[in-house]
Structure 1
């Protein structure tokens, strides 16, 4: 899942970004209202975390939320703000926010709100993914094959989840990087190949078929059941 966070407080942004990344989300960061709008216009996100008090536009986060709703009426928007007045909450919801979290907040609550919004999103996928004998439960980041639970890192889980959500479709390395890594990723070019190798080692015991197929020059595929 890919998240856009629009937050001008660098300290808060860093803490939230690390928390989300450790939970398997890819996070892009914008620090001003115009930068947040630009990021949303050029990329696709599963959820937006939006500070209310942002520099760059008179309406701050309210203006960003209005523009997001002009572009996409479905993506969940969670407003984060230090303003705890009823008026601010109503204004935020009226311009299109789906939920409202007042600072300071506990990170465990933030993660719970994120999971809840993603479950309710019209774009939400089934809570359990099944393909080629593997069962994936995104809510708990659990993978099971032949009755055994497979221990995956958040990044391994993100790659496997995207492949399983798109079972039957060839997914390119570029698409996997766009989904599982943030837009500032500048690491080594064969990172996807490396994580595919990790997944194959963990998913298959000796004698079990490899569920991830490589289509040379095109990408990777997990066949759909049936």
Structure 2
């Protein structure tokens, strides 16, 4: 599941992003309200963790804009803010927030609230993803092909999960780097290509149907369809 954090305080934002990724979520971070609103509207986001006091556009304005657009009207939003007055909580809920958590907070409580909202909402991710003859148990973090277990490391599973939940979409190296490795993509590094090669050896090489394909100059896509032939150097 993809969580968007809109938080301007650097330490808090970095802490939330790192912690949510360690819990198995995909987590993006925006450091002002305007950028956060743009990401919420343009990316495949499942839930927003939103601060109130933000530069460029405050949390109230962000939430009102999300609720005014058909594509984001039902997007779960959890306010995470130091504004602890009763009138602030009431205002947030009346604007359409799904939950309101006051800082300082316990991280385990935040995660519990996020999981509750995701279970409650219509955008809940399927517990099992199926592409071709592959089955991914999202909760158990297990992968099978043709009924045979495919043993992956935690990072390999995160990479496959990102590709699979965006089935048919070409994902750039920059996006993969930011979502799986929490890093900016450097064109001089081959970390993404090397990780794809390792995943292919386990997931694709033992089977006739190939699921992970390269789109030259664009990135990678997971789908049960023929892809471009892979040079030996990329396998």
> What is the TM-score of this pair, normalised by structure 1?
0.75
Correspondence 1:48-197 to 2 at 5 A: 48-57=48-57, 60-71=58-69, 72-145=72-145, 146=147, 148=149, 150-154=151-155, 156-167=156-167, 169=168, 171-174=169-172, 177-178=174-175, 181-182=178-179, 185-188=184-187, 191-197=191-197
Is 2:42 the partner of 1:45?
Answer: no
Deviations 1:36-90 (A, max 9, x none): 3344455442321101233445xx3111111122232122211102233433222
Provide the C-alpha distance between the structure 2 equivalents of 1:116 and 1:144, rounded to a whole number of angstroms: 28
Offset at residue 91 of structure 1 (A): 1.5
Deviations 1:121-172 (A, max 9, x none): 3233322113344332323433345453623324x334322443355x3x32
Could you say what secondary structure the match of 1:181 adopts?
A: helix
Taking a change above 3 Å as real, the CA distance of residues 200 and 39 of structure 1, as seen in their structure-2 partners, is: closer
Higher relative contact order (CA 8 A, sep 6+): 1
Taking a change above 3 Å as real, the CA distance of residues 87 and 50 of structure 1, as seen in their structure-2 partners, is: same
Do 2:81 and 2:103's aligned partners in 1 also have CA atoms closer than 8 Å? yes
Number of equivalenced pairs: 217
Provide the C-alpha distance between the structure 1 equivalents of 2:126 and 2:140, rounded to a whole number of angstroms: 13
Taking a change above 3 Å as real, the CA distance of residues 215 and 147 of structure 1, as seen in their structure-2 partners, is: closer
Provide the C-alpha distance between the structure 1 equivalents of 2:131 and 2:35, rounded to a whole number of angstroms: 39
Offset at residue 93 of structure 1 (A): 1.5
Let me know the Cα RMSD of the aligned residues: 3.2
Do 2:176 and 2:192's aligned partners in 1 also have CA atoms closer than 8 Å? no
Provide the C-alpha distance between the structure 2 equivalents of 1:32 and 1:53, rounded to a whole number of angstroms: 9
Structure 2 regions of 5+ residues with no counterpart? Answer: 226-235
What residue number does 2:229 align with? none
Structure 1 regions of 5+ residues with no counterpart? Answer: none
Taking a change above 3 Å as real, the CA distance of residues 179 and 40 of structure 1, as seen in their structure-2 partners, is: farther
Taking a change above 3 Å as real, the CA distance of residues 89 and 147 of structure 1, as seen in their structure-2 partners, is: farther
> What is the TM-score of this pair, normalised by structure 2?
0.73
